[in-house]
Amino acid sequence: MNKENKKKKIIIVGGGFGGVYVAGGLRRLANCERAEIILISPQNYFLFTPLLHEVATGGLSPVSVAEPIREIFRKDKIKFYQSSVSLVDVEKQIVFANGQELSYDILVLTTGAETNFYDIPGAEKYGLPLKTLRDSVIIRSRIIDAFEKAALTSDENLRKELLTFVVVGGGATGVELAGEIAEFTFGTLAFYYRRTFCKNRDIRVVLLSGSDQILSAFPENMHYWAEKTLSKKGVEVMKQAKVKEVRETEVLLENSRTIKSWTVMWTAGVKSQLPVIKGGFEIDKSGRILTDEHLRAKGLSDVFILGDVAAFKEKTDDKPLPMFAQVAVRQSEVVVRNIESILKNQPLKKFMYREQGLLVSIGQWQAVGQIFGVGLQGRFAWWLWRTVYLFKFISWRKKLRIAFEWTINLFYPRDTTKIS
């Protein structure tokens, strides 16, 4: 068998939206043994990150937003390695994972992003990120702990500090988290602790945005609708509030203002998370890998880049596409198509991204968005947001589980179980 006809070895690094959707799109190549496909991820599950804010506030259970990768591909001949990739050598076409050298013919790199603390003093030490399943469980526990401590103190000032919850970051994650925290604290926990020292007037939810708007990357009408909805739910929105330092019991702003709080959540930004790379890649100033029009790493014909680590630009002076899950999903479709084209010696397809819609939930029954240029808000936007996300889950078991939990939540309060 000559080199052109031998079975190609495709390695996918990253088990997020990009990696799992590419593996799913290529499953037929593995099943008919036209390619050997290996998916590598440090976790054994695919995490539905857009719903982590609901886990953090008792709306969903942790297992509901995670799908085991081996279960997803249980009927397929896709190989899965639970491992972190320490080095990618594009010159030798080798990936190093758990001390093993794995050679490849085609590499798909989609390792996602991590929280960006921007070197702000105390932010990484005291700020609670929301990027992993563990992060969401920690936030829920910290909020419940704050109420438990406040319930036992007659010191009003201390109680107010304990029951002040600060969300740093006015993007989609920050807005969604702040809205959910307001409902969790004012709606659920305040009722359960009503016979303690805790009072509604002690609770404070603050959303800090460093710019002059929240949802600054979104259409203008969404700024106004989101801020209005948050205010109705009891969230204090502070704009042009840049954080100077985070301490154990307070947040210092650049305008010399101080907010006393024992619970600070950090959603102010993310940065690409890449393994050590040897040779070949061009990195832009944001730390993302520059790609060509086909989503290959610039200058490389056998390496595809997508998701949060890809700096795709339709024009040289454009900004890279935002780090959204829907971007990774759209990119995965083109990567699958182009890998199939390589195996068939056919021309590659250019990637073109057109925004179809944006939706941001703000607690139960409320969401804002824009679909094909049409602005939406309120209950219909919220129903549409939930419907879209529900069908992004891969297995029907998870879809049914999420739908069941959401239905139960319409009639019962949020879960206040503290998970250690």
Contact 137, 55 (CB under 8 A): yes
Q: What confidence score (pLDDT) does residue 3 get?
A: 47
> Per residue in 179-224, pLDDT tens?
999 999 999 999 999 999 999 999 999 999 999 999 987 888 889 9
Tell me the C-alpha distance between 30 and 19, whole Å: 15
What is residue 1's predicted lDDT score, i.e. its pLDDT? 40
DSSP state of 72: H
Q: Choose which CATH entry (3.40.50.300, 3.30.930.10, 3.50.50.60, 1.10.600.10) describes domain 8-42+83-115+271-343.
A: 3.50.50.60
Res. 146: pLDDT tops 70: yes
Give the tens place of pLDDT for each residue, 311-369: 998 776 678 898 999 999 999 999 999 999 999 999 999 999 988 788 999 998 999 99
Give the three-class secondary structure for 18: helix
CA 366 vs CA 62, 124, 226, 324, 325: distances in Å: 22, 31, 9, 21, 21
The mean pLDDT of the chain is 94
Residues of each domain in the chain carrying CATH 3.50.50.60 = 8-42+83-115+271-343
More confident residue, 117 or 314: 117
208 DSSP β-pair partners: 168, 238
Residue type for position 67? E
SS3 assignment, position 282: coil
In sequence order, the 6+-apart residues with CB closer than 8 A to the CB of 242 are 210, 253, 254, 255
Distances (CA, A) of 358 to 149, 204, 255: 39, 28, 32
> Where in the chain is CATH 3.50.50.100?
123-268
To the nearest whole percent, how much of the chain has pLDDT over 70? Answer: 98
Residue 156 is which amino acid? E
Q: What is the pLDDT of residue 316?
A: 65
- Residue 419 DSSP symbol: P
CATH of segment(s) 123-268: 3.50.50.100
